[in-house]
Structure 1
């Protein structure tokens, strides 16, 4: 089962620097990983605790890799984790449906666009996915050959996944429906250990709900997309099923794979109708279900002579159809923004002594990787810098102080989201907009990937 893992590794390393660019979430990782351990600990007490273990691991990695390319260091853990997930998934498919299904499942997983994307991102999602896939493999082994040590390993791996991102525990819903009756007591004990261990992190993160305030309720597109995926998955399950399919003491590939693909995402979607929390990357490991179902279906179709040619033709066409997406994922335009390009645009638009405003304040993230690029510009709203304030984006002075500082400036470079994005209604953000509209005129706007950089000056001085 080395071939799928090597394929994933090759895809992950191909274009991993993405033109030397970062996007905003990776900028947060980079900044947090470079903070001192006391500063990191103090920050996590108030913000982003859900990613705390990941930031700690990345901090240690950056400490031992000083002098190496920081972009490579940032993304290499995700590349390696995805390759490991691919290899483990191939082994899982092998155990459940035979070597051909395992080989195809691993290969499909490596080629999935969403998997390729997060294989090259300096965030925790690929590592969480790898741990969930590993835990699923251990679950199948524990059910097939009851051994207390395997159940302990299963619980330990899933605990690690949950501590890296608490939504990893949603994989338990998929495991619950796949475990046969004879193994339910042992599984329930392991699941209880996982839930109890991860619960403190979940409680702490609920107190930091501002970190997910940007998430909106799932729209019709998300619901239709999920429904369509579920229907296709059922079709693959039907094609991959055969009367003599291999069953390991009750663990069936269609049930396990459908559970992984559907149940965590469905639960998150339902919760999001009340409290918006659904983001597809939070349940990236669901793609392992897609790969298992597709691999099993292809294995069955390519085994029969009358369907082999059609199956191979369709598979080849799918790979070719994915090529443009595969290429696009390795460009700066594939992410929501380009932190470096935005910082350069601000530096080019401003002059020494000019003021700079971030609208909203959380867009100060665009300055985190290289604060020196904006040397000479005055951050008019800043109270305390991110590291000094033990926050992600720094703290800002009260709205009246923001107004007073803005009025003393002759030119201001405003950095904001692209047109059409909702405007924050906090006092500070309202004051920024009002003062710009009342006391300044717009000299020009430069649009860069994911942002607008607008220069304002006093009337008649542009």
Structure 2
């Protein structure tokens, strides 16, 4: 998983969400916490982790994405451990870990500067620690489970829906051992661990709820169709999802594996159902990347299917031959998903705006004293100014115009624009103008008062259209 995560990890350009992560994490802690009080608190724990990571390893594309690659490698390891423990089968565990590597979505978020890989790792670790605590309860094991679930929830609150699937593991364990002395202890130990998790996460939940309308207002309430076809979106490749379904089938039909297979299936399905139901209210949380943490459970289910195939084949052929033949089935999703894996490493696979190209155009023609105008206002979500800044050399820093307070001083991801444009125009002899999309009009999408101020003082001398961006150079009128 680590090798797949690192393969061509710097090829895709940063897209706006990754730029947001960089912008947040590279502030000092006081500035970061000031921002989180206003926006993006649900990702705040990840930003703090990334802040210290960047302080140690730098803020290059490779360094920032390395954290996600390592986290997803951890998720694959814990997936293998869950499969081994849930089915008492090394083959099921090995197959589960390898199958997770074949999923295009997993590769994508192993190469993205966002919280989802860390959350997936934390939820997988929590499931494994829960299984260990159920087998041999102890304060340290329950504490480890609560800590990893708290990490997952603090990094992304939606991951707490995984508690629904974990409850099935607890009830199944209790039911199978209900006649043993002390079996009922798990019925209070698990809720106590969950309460500790929720208490630790509650500050993030309070802030996140206050900010939810701004953060998630763009998501519509999901339909039944969205729920049914979520599994296609989760894999980023329908053929891979079909391959997983076929591989899982033998486990659901084999008497030795069926109990664990149903538990693994519910670990994946119940969180999605919970999030879908919660999303029928005023705020929707239903989008595939928010549920990425369910993929290890689906890999465990498919891995058990491979182990079930090996068990069936071993009745007719030697055990080693049966294992080798069954393990070869891992190649099925690997092969059918290969085109999607390749596409995810293209330059604009993460986004559709060429921040790097725009920065190169500006750097090539830059003169000290140049100004910069970027899409802001109702287009501030595109993170154009921050995206350009990331890719611009340190010596190239055009002065932002029409900005009353920059994003850092505004304690936000976005700058605060001047209420009236013309007094904020400044006296730059030249100004770089970067807008969203491709248009013959270099001012496309700018607020009207900014257009009027620029047209009054400047004239366009050159325009360059790039993927998702238009870069123009304006020169002050004589």
After superposition, the C-alpha distances for 1:325-366 in whole angstroms (9 at most, x for unaligned) are 222222322111443223334556887646523141233332
Query: Which of 332, 335, 358 matches 2:347?
Result: 332
- Structure 1 stretch displaced more, 312-321 or 202-211: 312-321
| Structure 2 partner of 1:82 | 72
Change (3 A) 1:457 1:370: closer
Distance across 1 between alignment mates of 2:425 and 2:299: 54
Gaps of 5+ in 1: 1-7, 421-425
- Contact kept in structure 2, 1:347 and 1:374, CA below 8 Å: no
- Contact kept in structure 2, 1:257 and 1:290, CA below 8 Å: yes
After superposition, the C-alpha distances for 1:434-458 in whole angstroms (9 at most, x for unaligned) are 8889999988864434x22153879
- TM-score relative to the length of structure 1: 0.81
Distance across 1 between alignment mates of 2:233 and 2:114: 25
| Structure 2 partner of 1:344 | 360
Distance across 2 between alignment mates of 1:162 and 1:169: 5
What is the Cα deviation at residue 407 of structure 1?
Answer: 11
Residues 302-321 of structure 1: pairs in structure 2 closer than 5 A? 302-305=310-313, 315-321=330-336
Change (3 A) 1:195 1:344: same
- Structure 1 stretch displaced more, 404-413 or 73-82: 404-413
- Contact kept in structure 1, 2:124 and 2:296, CA below 8 Å: yes
SS in 2 for 1:304: helix
- Contact kept in structure 2, 1:134 and 1:157, CA below 8 Å: yes
Change (3 A) 1:96 1:229: farther
Residues 169-180 of structure 1: pairs in structure 2 closer than 5 A? 169-180=160-171
| Structure 1 partner of 2:108 | 117
Query: Which of 382, 406, 415 matches 2:434?
Result: 415
| Structure 2 partner of 1:356 | 373
Residues 2-151 of structure 1: pairs in structure 2 closer than 5 A? 8-18=1-11, 21-65=13-57, 70-97=60-87, 98-151=89-142
SS in 2 for 1:333: coil
Count of aligned pairs: 437
What is the Cα deviation at residue 278 of structure 1?
Answer: 2.1
Is 2:150 the partner of 1:159?
Answer: yes
Query: Which of 251, 262, 266 matches 2:269?
Result: 262
After superposition, the C-alpha distances for 1:66-88 in whole angstroms (9 at most, x for unaligned) are 5xx72232122211111111111
Change (3 A) 1:60 1:91: same
Query: Which of 442, 445, 466 matches 1:448?
Result: 466
Is 2:301 the partner of 1:293?
Answer: yes
What is the Cα deviation at residue 110 of structure 1?
Answer: 1.5
- Contact kept in structure 2, 1:350 and 1:455, CA below 8 Å: no
Change (3 A) 1:136 1:313: closer
| Structure 2 partner of 1:366 | 387
C-alpha RMSD over aligned residues: 3.7
Change (3 A) 1:434 1:169: farther
Change (3 A) 1:444 1:216: farther
| Structure 1 partner of 2:194 | 191
What is the Cα deviation at residue 149 of structure 1?
Answer: 2.7
Change (3 A) 1:16 1:234: closer
Distance across 2 between alignment mates of 1:256 and 1:444: 62
Distance across 2 between alignment mates of 1:70 and 1:159: 29
Is 2:205 the partner of 1:213?
Answer: no
Distance across 1 between alignment mates of 2:285 and 2:365: 37
Distance across 2 between alignment mates of 1:89 and 1:256: 14
Change (3 A) 1:434 1:324: farther
- Structure 1 stretch displaced more, 34-43 or 133-142: 34-43
